[in-house]
Structure 1
Amino acid sequence: MREKNNETVRWYGKGIPYLENINHKGKLIVIEGPDSSGRSTQISLLTAKLEADGHAVINTGLKRSELVGEGILEAKRNAALGKKTLALFYAADFADQLEQKIIPSLEAGYIVLADRYIYTLMARNTVRGIPRKWSHDLYGFALVPDLVYYLKVDPYTLVHRVFEKNSSLDYYESGSDMGLSDDMFESFIIYQQKIAKEFQTMQKTYGLVPIEGDHTAEEINADLKKRVDTFLRTKR
């Protein structure tokens, strides 16, 4: 950790050496959770609320790097990359966004709302057999967020939401690349259970706060707004 201009800059490892003089005036808030858990809806609602309260807000998420984002999509379409190669692809995507978008926004005093962060990436790596320490070390350059919420949704509820939204299951989000089951529905349930178990393991280590994602969007939003408002009032 380093003290800069009365703000504590915290990294998960050694950080980014050439960005050690960060004037961290903003706040980084992360919403984690599986696909169709309601993350994007909550990000949108929180953005509107925070902007109405006078805060400058910017959104970020996975696969949004102009440098790497399209490459990840193409690699996943071909399904030809090894698990560590794909993990490094995602790490490069995150690193580019961290340096080009997240850190500059925090320096400018923005509240950065992240639609997932490094935790989903680490959970995916672990359930595919990559050691936790490898992933933790890989993301040692990542900033520690101010708040991290994880939307927990029962896999059986989740699969119905996915079908309602897309009418099909994603190859990777079903764990089909892992050979869990010949039945894609069953593979999805098994994979999501493994991801949920990994998030439970990470809660204590990384300070993730679980939120019951099986509730209505309005109930979840009321809970999140209360938590975020309390945090910002305390900091102010």
Structure 2
Amino acid sequence: MITLENQLEGEEDMTALDFYGIDAIGLRAKEEILPGRLVVIEGTDGVGRSTQLQLLRPWLESSGYAVVDSEMTRSELAGSGLKEAKDGNTLGPITLNLFYAADFIDRFENQILPALRAGFIVLIDRYIYSLMARALVRGADSRWLRSIYGLALKPDITFYLRVELEELVPRVLQGHGFDYWESGMDMRLGNDLFESFVRYQKLMLAEYDKMAIEYHFEVIDASMAAEQIAAQLKQKIFPLLPNG
């Protein structure tokens, strides 16, 4: 297992403190050392993010690395409240965005940063990008979003599992089916879940594609078999690992 003491042997093994905006938590002022690695998997609902996390974690652990994972709505502060609020299908876009922001910031400060300090490999199922994409398609101001999420560290690598809409629809139908929020029903984009889902996901995919360029995502063809995708992710992650 990679420990903090192992990481302190060489500065090249440290995660650079590179933020998207301000260092709101004051990590630079504290001369923080983050020996862990931050690996993000992005993509829309039903694209296979969870499957890849389930494949990556045992591979990393069997290679001797300590691993933690984090995903949306798993904050102790706001996670359960957000889930309950979404169950009512009555949240307005501003309240929804602030709820997601509170969930992320709490996880960032109390889950992600402590794990990076301890030298863990942190696997994130959707980072700030999905939160921003969801907010942008609901009309949020991009400058406002950047001010909220500017405290986020830049990941060591971000994978974007990309799939065409025509392939996404049958995947969702074969999985858990259409979800109210993932179909954008709050935006009144269609008369039923299917129509709304198609229109909403078109908007989301367009935002992801723009972010892929702006934030330098590693774009992965999610139409491949899960094992093929995992092989590509491992190949790209391995050189970033401490002593990798």
TM-score bracket, normalised by the shorter chain, equals over 0.9
| Aligned mate of 1:225, from 223, 234, 237 | 234
1:195 maps to 2:188: no
Partner of 1:30: 40
Deviations, residues 190-221 of structure 1 (Å, cap 9, x unaligned): 11111111011112221212111111101111
With 223-232 and 14-23 compared, the bigger mean Cα shift is at 14-23
Deviations, residues 81-118 of structure 1 (Å, cap 9, x unaligned): 22011101111101111111100100100000001111
Partner of 1:84: 94
With 58-67 and 222-231 compared, the bigger mean Cα shift is at 222-231
Q: Alpha carbon RMSD of aligned pairs, Å?
A: 1.7
Deviations, residues 150-181 of structure 1 (Å, cap 9, x unaligned): 10112222121112122x31011011111111
**One-letter code of the match for 1:138?**
I
What is the deviation of 1:187? Answer: 1.4
User: Does the 8 A contact of 2:43 with 2:208 survive in 1?
Assistant: no
Report the Cα distance in structure 2 between the residues aligned to 1:48 and 1:17, rounded to whole angstroms. Answer: 32
User: Does the 8 A contact of 2:47 with 2:162 survive in 1?
Assistant: yes
Partner of 2:25: 17
What is the deviation of 1:185? Answer: 1.0
Partner of 2:49: 39
What is the deviation of 1:18? Answer: 3.9
Partner of 1:181: 190
Identity percentage of aligned residues: 45
**One-letter code of the match for 1:193?**
K
Pairwise mapping of residues 99-110 of structure 1 onto structure 2 (< 5 A)? 99-110=109-120
With 57-66 and 222-231 compared, the bigger mean Cα shift is at 222-231
Partner of 1:150: 160
**One-letter code of the match for 1:105?**
A
Report the Cα distance in structure 2 between the residues aligned to 1:154 and 1:31, rounded to whole angstroms. Answer: 17
Report the Cα distance in structure 1 between the residues aligned to 2:142 and 2:171, rounded to whole angstroms. Answer: 30
* 3-state SS of paired residue (2:46): coil
Residue segments in structure 2 that go unaligned for 5+ positions in a row = 1-7
Report the Cα distance in structure 2 between the residues aligned to 1:17 and 1:105, rounded to whole angstroms. Answer: 16
User: Does the 8 A contact of 1:36 with 1:158 survive in 2?
Assistant: yes
Partner of 1:170: 179
With 62-71 and 13-22 compared, the bigger mean Cα shift is at 13-22
Residue segments in structure 1 that go unaligned for 5+ positions in a row = none
Q: How many residues align?
A: 231
With 133-142 and 113-122 compared, the bigger mean Cα shift is at 133-142
User: Does the 8 A contact of 2:66 with 2:120 survive in 1?
Assistant: yes
* 3-state SS of paired residue (2:61): helix
Deviations, residues 7-32 of structure 1 (Å, cap 9, x unaligned): 42111111223444221100000001
1:71 maps to 2:81: yes
Distance 1:24 1:61, change over 3 A: same
User: Does the 8 A contact of 2:69 with 2:125 survive in 1?
Assistant: yes
User: Does the 8 A contact of 1:156 with 1:189 survive in 2?
Assistant: no
With 156-165 and 142-151 compared, the bigger mean Cα shift is at 156-165
What is the deviation of 1:71? Answer: 0.7
